[in-house]
Structures are given as C-alpha cells and as structure tokens.
Structure 1
Amino acid sequence: MTSTATAPPPSASPAPSRTDRTAGRRGSRAVPVGVALVAASLPMFMATLDNLVMTTALPVLQVELSASLEQLQWMVNAYTLSFASLMIAAATLGDRLGRRRVFVTGIAVFALASIASALATDAGTLIAARAVQGAGAAAVMPLSLTLLAGSVPAARRAMAIGIWGAVSGLGVALGPVIGGAVVDGIAWQAIFWINVPVAIVAIPLVRWALPESHGRRQPLDVPGLLLAGGGVLSTVWAIIRGNDDGWGSARVVGGLVLGAVLLVAFLRRESRTDHPLVPLRLFRVRSFSVANATALLFSVGVFGIVFLLSQYLQVGLGYSPLEAGLRTLPWTAAPMLVAPLAGMLAPRVGVRPLLTAGLALQAAGLAWQGLLVGGDVVYADLVPGLVLAGVGMGLTFAPSATAVLADMGADDHGTASSVNATIRELGGALGVAVLVAVFQAADGTLTPTGYTAGLQPAMLVAAAIVGVGAVIALAMPRSTGRGVTGVAAH
C-alpha cells in the first residue's frame, strides 16, 4: 500500500544515467516544465491514491459484497503485492523497451483493471482486478520520476522533483478522504471509475510531453522474480490463514515453510546471477541496510494499522466513510508539513537523529491510541496520538530516502531506490496480514462491540514493531546524510 500504502512512492535515479538515449523527439517545440510535470505526476497521483483510497470503503464492501475479513485483506494486499513484486521488473523493461512505452502501457492496464474493479459483483473478482491494477501501478511508479527528470532542464530538475514528491504525498493524504467522499456521495464503484477519465487525459498528454528514453539493456531476472514473488505470496497467505486454520495446521505451516524455502532460493539465485533483480552487494553498505530494515518495520507497523483504524472509525465510532477519512488527516497529512523541514535539517544534523526520533514518535503515537481504544473513547482522545504518529512519519520519510542513496554510487541510485520502495510495499502487505492476525487472535470482530477487543493489542504490537525500528535506526552511521543536498525523497 501502497500499498498500498502511505510511504512516498518509488523512483529510479533522479537524473538520467549515462546510458540514456532519447528515442522520441519533440523537434524544436519546447514543452513547458509545468506540462511535463503534470504529465509525469498525474498517473503517479492516481496510482498513489489507490494505495489508500479503498480503506474507507472496506466496511461498505464487507456488507455489499458479503466479504469476509480475509477477503478484505486481499482487496488491499492483492494490489500491494502485485505492485511491489513487479516494480523492479517494470523498471528493467522500461530500460529495454522504452520508458515512455512501458509507462503508457502501465496507465492503460491500470485503467482497464479499474473498470474491472468497478464492475465486480463479488469479492473474488474484485481481488483479481486489484491484482491487475497493482501490476499497472508497478509500471507507472518507478518510471514517472525518471521520465520527468529526463524532460526538464537540469537547472529546474530539483524544483520539479520537489513538486513531484509533494504530489505523491498529497495522494497518500487524500486517499482516505477522497475514498470516503466518493463512497458517501456516489457509490463504492466510483472510487475506481474516477481513474478512467484520468487515464484518458494522461495517455495522450504523456505521449506529447515526455520524450521516449532507454536505459541499460540488461536481462530481466525472471527466475528471481518468480522466486521472490512466490515466497512473499506464500508467507502472506499463510499468515492470513493462521487464525482460521490454526497456526499448527498443515496448510499454514506448509505455506510458511514454502515461503521460507523460496526466499532462501531467491537469495541464493541473486548471489550467483550476473543480472540480479536485487543486487545483494548493496546491503553491504550499512546505511542502506539500516534504512531498509527500518523501512520494513515502519511499513509493517504503520500500514497494518491504517487498514484497521480506518474501519474502527466507522465500525467502532460510527462515522460515515467521509467523516472517517477526514479524521485520518492529522496522521496522513502531517508529513506534508513536516517532511520538507526534515529534508532541510538532514544535511545539518545527519539522518540518524531524525530517523530515530521519527520512528520513536510514531511508536509513541500508536501506543497512545492503543492504550485508549480499549475503553470508552471519543475521537478527540485519539488526536494527540494521531498527530504524534503523523509528525513521526514526516520525520521518517526524507531522512530514510536520503540514507538509501547517500552512500551509493550514482549508477546504483535507480536500483537502490526501487529496492527500498519494494521493501516498503512488501512491509505494508505483511503488516496488514500480521496485525489482522493479532486482531483476530484477540477475538476482534467487525462489530461495534467486538472491534476494540482486537484493535488494542494490534495497536500495541504495531507500536512495538515501530519501536524496534527506532532502536535499529541508532545503527545508522553518524555521517550519513550530513552535507548531502538535492537527494530527492523517493
């Protein structure tokens, strides 16, 4: 989640590599920077929005499609897992076949899958359509920034990237609000129909405003892709089935063992192939390893709670979808204000204090809410915890992105940022699975009286997971990020 989810979107390197070559030409006609920015950002906003736009619609889908809690999880995780698993592959195909071509194909696939989602009459069809939608988003996200960077003058590139990052943050913040407004005002199907006119406008605009380009033509590691995707899918499926089938059941144990075997085989494959999907040598850089470990724990703790909290505001506190979406803003919108400040402070103080403080504040915010939801609580009681978590999230985003790239060579920027984005998305899928498992194990149910029973332990577990991330952040080298400017938050 995009991941589903609330993390900043992935990208390739902010600047085109030496191997880039422009294939499409705009002749002497100069496209204004603003037009190029809209062309690259509009599809990215659409894909980012769909990470969270469904969260406020879940209680409605549960009723109208007679969906179980497991099916609600897959409505989110099908998108996130597909998105995460195919992102690096899409970037590699873009380098080989043409970035604009793959970008436009991703937009078209996303729009067609949105139509299929809107027309779904049962939970299984919606889950399948969401998986295809995630595949389209995987082609949109890693290429939007690369195409933008290659279409604007170098002198204005940092400004364009900054605006692009703000738009992606806006998509995260507005996802629950727009989803709630559409569900309240029209119907749940409209959260998918709104993608269609956006795609109709975006495709010709992209073809006109963004020049075609290629990158390094390296083979796609298909066996690695299948091993990694199968390992993560098997693990997430087993965790989701754990409470219903029993944690000692053959299906659950078998799924966990299969997932572990496939992931070990993936690591073995990546260590031996000449063109790895994930170059393991990157993890020998301590700042990169710490940044990815904290990003994984951040995603597990935070995104799993977004899934549960958005439903609690409706099921537990009785708000409408729009009212629930608006009440997530102290959390989801705070990074829009805090992240730029963290980005300015990082070159002065380094990444470590900001990242550690950000994760600690998030853990405190989640713990605050977790300690309150067990009793009689009104929304105002939760606001301080939401604000703490939001400020912490804002302090995490830019320093984490800086740490991913700060100690990397320029040629590794695209791969490093894509690997980090993939880890964040996978963390979001694992977070939904793990924290819903905690919710169910504590006898949580999708009823006003039964929801808080499961939400409180899930909140506290999430706080503990993010707190571990804060401890790990202390291992970040003191020098990382100091004096580094112009590193875009990816």
Structure 2
Amino acid sequence: MAVSDSTAVKYPVTTRAFGLAIVVLSGMQLMMVLDGTVASLALARIQEDLGLSDSGRNWVITSYALTFGGLMLLGGRLGDAFGRKRVFIGGVALFTVASLLCGLAMNEGMLVAARAFQGVGAAIASPTAMALVATTFAPGPVRNQAIAIFAAMTGVGSVTGLIVGGALTEVSWRWIFLINVPIGLAILALAFGALTETAGERLQLDVPGAVLATLGCTAVVFGFTEGPEMGWGSPAVLAGLVGGAALLAAFLVVERRAENPLLPFSLFRNRDRVATFVAIAFIGMVMFSLAPFVALFVQDVLGFTPLRAGLAFVPFAGGLGTAAFVASKLAVRVQPRWLVVAGALITFVGLLYGATLDGSATYLGDLLVLVLGVGFGVGLAVVPLPLCAIAGVGPHEIGPLTAIAQVAQVLFGPVGLAVVGAMATSRTLSRGGVSGAVADMTPQQLDALGQGYTFALFGCAVLAALAALTALFIRFTPEQVAQAQAAEKAAQQA
C-alpha cells in the first residue's frame, strides 16, 4: 500500500491519460506548432501591409527560430532548477504576451522583436512541457498514451495550421498571432490546477553558453540576410559574419570549460553521430527554408489566396506521413544511411524541378507532384536520423542527445533561410526586380521576383544534396537502430 501511495505522489496521473493535464500540455504544443506553420502563409500579406523589405520579411521567420533553438536547452534546464510547473507557466505567459504584441505590431522592428520574444517563451515552455509529461504520467500505458497525444499535436498542428492559418490570413494576418491570446490564457488558467510542481535541483546553469550560441547564430544570419541589400562589403554585414564566427568560437571555448555545459563534447566522440547531427542540420535547413518561398511563390507569382495556398500544401503532410510510416518499418531492416540518402535525393530532384517553374505553372499540372514528392522525400529522411542520434548510448544519454538533435534542426534552420534568402534576393535584384509590394510591380519586376523565389528552391536542392552526401558517412546498422528504438521506449517508460 505504501508503494501505491508513493507512486501516486510521484505520478499524479496513474489510470487514464486523457484529462486536464494532457489538455494543457498538448494544447501548448499545438499552439506553438500552429504558430510556426501559419507565419509562412502570412508573409506575403505582412510584407504588403507593413512595407517590409525582403530581409525584414525573412526576419519575421528567423527571429522566432533563433531564440527558440538557441535557448531551448537552457529552457529545459530552467525547469529542472526552479520547478517545471512554475517555469512552464512563465513560458506560456511570455509566449501569450508576445503573441499579442505581434498582432498589434505597427512596424517591422516591433514585429521582429515580438517574434523573438515568442521564441523565448517557446524555448522555455516546450522542453518543460515534455519533461512534465514524464513527471505527471505514470510509466507504462498511461505515459505512452500521453506521449502519443502530445506527439500527435505536431502532425495535427501542421495540417490544421495550413487551413486555419490560411483562413485567418484572409481576414487579417494579425489574427494568426491574436488567436494565441485566448488559447494561451485558457492554458494558463487550467495549468494552475491541472499540473503538479516538481522539486527544483541545484544546477549550475550554462547561461553564457546559451547567450553566445544565440548571438553567434543571430549575427551570422544578419550578415547573410542583409548582405544582398546592404552590400557584401558593408561594414555592418562584415561585422555580422566575422563577429558571429567569433561568438560561436567563444561558445565552443565556454562549453569545454563549463561545469554543466549545454553541449557536452563527450557526446561527439562517435564520428557516425557527428555525421548524423550534420545531416539533421542540413535537413532542418531544407525544411525551414522551403515553406516560406513556396508560400510566397504561389501567392505573389501565381496569385493564390492564403487559404488556397494553405490547402495546396496539405498533400505535403500526407506525403511526409506516408514516408515516415514506411521509414519506421524499414529503419530496422535497411542501413539507415540509405533511407536518408534516398529521401534527400528525392527531395533534391523535386526541388530541382521546382526551380524550373514560372508564372505559367498550374497546381494540378506542376505543383501537386512537387508538394507530394518533396513531402515524401523529407519524411523518408527525417525518421532514421533521430534514431541514429541515440544509437549505441546508455539510457541516461538519450535525453541530452535527443534535445541536441532537436536544437540542431531548429537552430540551423534560420542559417539555411538566411543563405537561401540571400540567393533569392540577389537573383531578383540582378534580374531587374525590386523589393516592395507586389501590387506595384511591373510584369518584368514580377517575373524577376518569381525567378528569385525559384532560385531559392535551387538553394534548398543544394542543401538536400549536402544532406545526402553527409548521410553516406553514417554507418549505424539496422540492429543499432532497433536497439535505439527499444532504448527510447524504455526511457519513456522509466
């Protein structure tokens, strides 16, 4: 009887996963996935309404991801140090307030700053929510159900975001951010009663490491983003690129000496794992850079409404889901590198085809096969990589490696968008295009804009090819991947 009471105290939910606790935690996950999806669909309207430059348009996306990815590991440690319920509520509150500021933004600077604060809130709330799933639900069927519900919100949010985001943008782009306010307030109201506080631990937080990583990536992204318009020889651009590299070098020095580093170097002694993280970074760049430019192309060049654009991307999720199911079955039978290579090459071919499109393209004749094919290729590549990241390690290392893999995908996405965005802007300007409202452009300028967007797809194709090349150096076996799957399941049930 004493064991039962102890278990009840340790795990507040022991009989049934569905309840207020999972509604709160999965609701937060849904809200943040929706936010990441809908922003790409609204870019065209935001640029027109606020008069954003091409670089400013990119910052709407990258400012969120930079703070989210750069501070995610620190956000998880904050929950361990100060209590996960308290930190989760603080993160959701910050995300909600930042969403309100995004919806009320009157200029580029205010919107970009608010998006950065959204990323900070997400970096605090998201990893803490995942940790709360483990401390709230008892090991076994209950926790498995909770994890399944929590994970399903990513897929549901991706598809729902395309439809809901498109519909809201038809009314006003501001609503894609303002809709978070009542949802966030509801989550906060329920969280106080539904979640149980955890005891804080005495941890030495690696704040310098998190700040240096975030600032370093931000400076590099600034250099690539502003280079085409300010000039590559501009002192500000050069300072961003050189200063960013220096900050990242300082980050590595700090991590080697930190008592509790965000990036333990001991986890990188395996060459196969290093190749895995690099491949994850390249795939993250492709996924992050692809969505904005396809959304801009179909709206600015082909004249799709935001809602039609969102519906047009739904087959991408279908292709990705189908490939993910296939890859999960094959990963324990085929060397994972061949799945990643195959997926990256399918993506490469699809994006090369996309780079040939122009204003005469049609959805059924041209875009549908592109959306399905690239979605399938991405799905085939992304499933084996997280399993390779944790292959051959002990249960205590699964959590840190999984977190680092997630950060690699999120944090390097903005770097990819900065490079691809620089390619797009440079191509547009070199063809006589201009930066500004599409409604004011001549047919020649609109054609130049379209060439820039499709050249961005060529840049994404190059990143996919680099992912395929990197994957060739991953030598984990199907047996090791199967062991990783079993270890991951055991870690969830522990």
Pick from 372, 378, 395: which aligns with 1:410? Answer: 395
| Partner of residue 372 from structure 2, selected from 375, 381, 387 | 387
- Number of aligned residue pairs: 467
1:263 and 2:248 correspond: yes
Pair 1:315 & 2:300 matched: yes
Q: What does residue range 3-152 of structure 1 map to in structure 2 within 5 Å?
A: 32-35=16-19, 36-152=21-137
Q: Which runs of 5+ in 2 are unaligned?
A: 1-5, 439-445
2:159 maps to 1:173: yes
Secondary structure of the residue aligned to 1:234 is helix
**Which among 175, 179, 199 is matched to residue 190 of structure 1?**
175
Pairwise CA distance, 1:76: 0.9
Relative to its length, the structure with more helix (as a share) is 2
How far apart are residue 275 of structure 1 and its match?
Answer: 1.5
Contact 2:11–2:138 (CA<8 Å) still a contact in 1?
no
Which residue of structure 2 aligns with residue 451 of structure 1?
Answer: 449
Residues 53-95 of structure 1 deviation map (CA, whole Å, 9 limit, x = unaligned): 1111111111211211111111111111111111111111110
CA shift, 1:360, in A, is 1.7
User: Helix, strand or coil for the counterpart of 1:54?
Assistant: helix
How far did residue 483 of structure 1 move?
4.3
When residues 205 and 354 of structure 1 are mapped into structure 2, their CA distance, relative to the original with a 3 A threshold, is farther
Hey, which bits of structure 1, 4+ residues long, moved more than 6 A?
21-27
After superposing the two structures, state which structure 1 stretch, 45-54 or 162-171, moved more: 162-171
Residue 190 of structure 2: aligned partner = 205
Q: Are 2:279 and 1:326 equivalent residues in the alignment?
A: no
Which has more radius of gyration? 2
Range with bigger deviation, 276-285 or 407-416: 407-416
2:463 corresponds to 1:465: yes
Q: Is the 8 A contact 1:176 1:325 kept in 2?
A: yes
CA 1:213–1:364 in 2, change beyond 3 Å: closer, same or farther?
A: farther
Tell me if the contact between 1:23 and 1:211 (Cα under 8 Å) persists in the aligned partners.
no
Cα shift readout 1:288-320 (whole Å, capped 9, x = no counterpart)? 312210111112223212111111110010010
Residue 135 of structure 2 aligns to which amino acid in structure 1? G
Q: Map 1:353-368 onto structure 2 (within 5 A).
A: 353-368=338-353
Identity %: 33
- Show the 5 A alignment for 1:216-365: 217-365=202-350
SS of residue in 2 equivalent to 1:113: helix
The alpha carbon displacement at 1:30 in A equals 5.6
Q: RMSD of the TM alignment (CA)?
A: 2.4
> What TM-score do you get using the length of structure 2 for normalisation?
0.89
CA separation of 1:404 and 1:173: change in aligned 2, threshold 3 A: farther
Q: AA paired with 1:482?
A: A
Give, in angstroms, the shift of residue 333 of structure 1.
4.0
Q: Is the 8 A contact 2:216 2:245 kept in 1?
A: yes
How far apart are the structure 2 equivalents of 1:409 and 1:93?
Answer: 24
Structure 1 253/423 Cα, relative in aligned 2: closer, same or farther at 3 Å?
Answer: same
CA distance in 2, matches of 1:469, 1:25: 43
Name whichever of 431-440 and 209-218 sits farther off.
Answer: 209-218
Report the CA distance between 1:122 and its aligned residue.
1.5
Q: What is the identity, as a one-letter code, of the residue corresponding to 1:167?
A: M
Contact 1:116-1:129 at 8 Å conserved across structures: yes
**Rounded Cα–Cα distance in structure 1 between residues aligned with 2:251 and 2:226:** 24
User: Aligned partners of 1:217, 1:341: CA distance in 2, in Å?
Assistant: 44
| 1:482 partnered with 2:482 | yes
- Cα 1:346–1:207, aligned 2, differ >3 Å: closer, same or farther? farther
Give distance in 1, aligned partners of 2:42 and 2:473.
40
Please name the residue that 1:398 is paired with: 383
The amino acid of 1:481's aligned partner reads V
Distance in 2 (alpha carbons) for counterparts of 1:419 and 1:274: 18
CA distance in structure 2 between the partners assigned to 1:335 and 1:86 by the alignment: 28
Q: For 1:213, what is the secondary structure of its paired residue?
A: coil
Query: Which residue, 416, 423, 434 being the options, matches 1:431?
Result: 416
Point out the more displaced range, 393-402 or 342-351. Answer: 342-351
Which string of whole-angstrom CA distances, capped at 9 and with x for unpartnered residues, describes residues 309-360 of structure 1? 1111100100100001111122244323332332233223342222222222
Call closer, same or farther: CA 1:25–1:270 in 2, change over 3 Å: closer
Deviates more, 1:205-214 or 1:227-236: 205-214
Q: Which runs of 5+ in 1 are unaligned?
A: 1-20
Q: Distance in 2 between matches of 1:24 and 1:171?
A: 32
**Counterpart of 2:376 in structure 1: which amino acid?**
V
- Inter-partner Cα distance in structure 1 for 2:182 and 2:419: 36
Structure 2 Cα separation of the partners of residues 398 and 242 of structure 1: 35
Change (3 A) 1:116 1:294: same
Cα distance change of structure 1 residues 333 and 101 upon mapping to structure 2, 3 Å threshold: farther
* Equivalent AA in structure 2 for residue 393 of structure 1: V
Shift in alpha-carbon separation, 1:313–1:374, aligned structure 2, 3 A: closer
- Match of residue 441 from structure 2: none
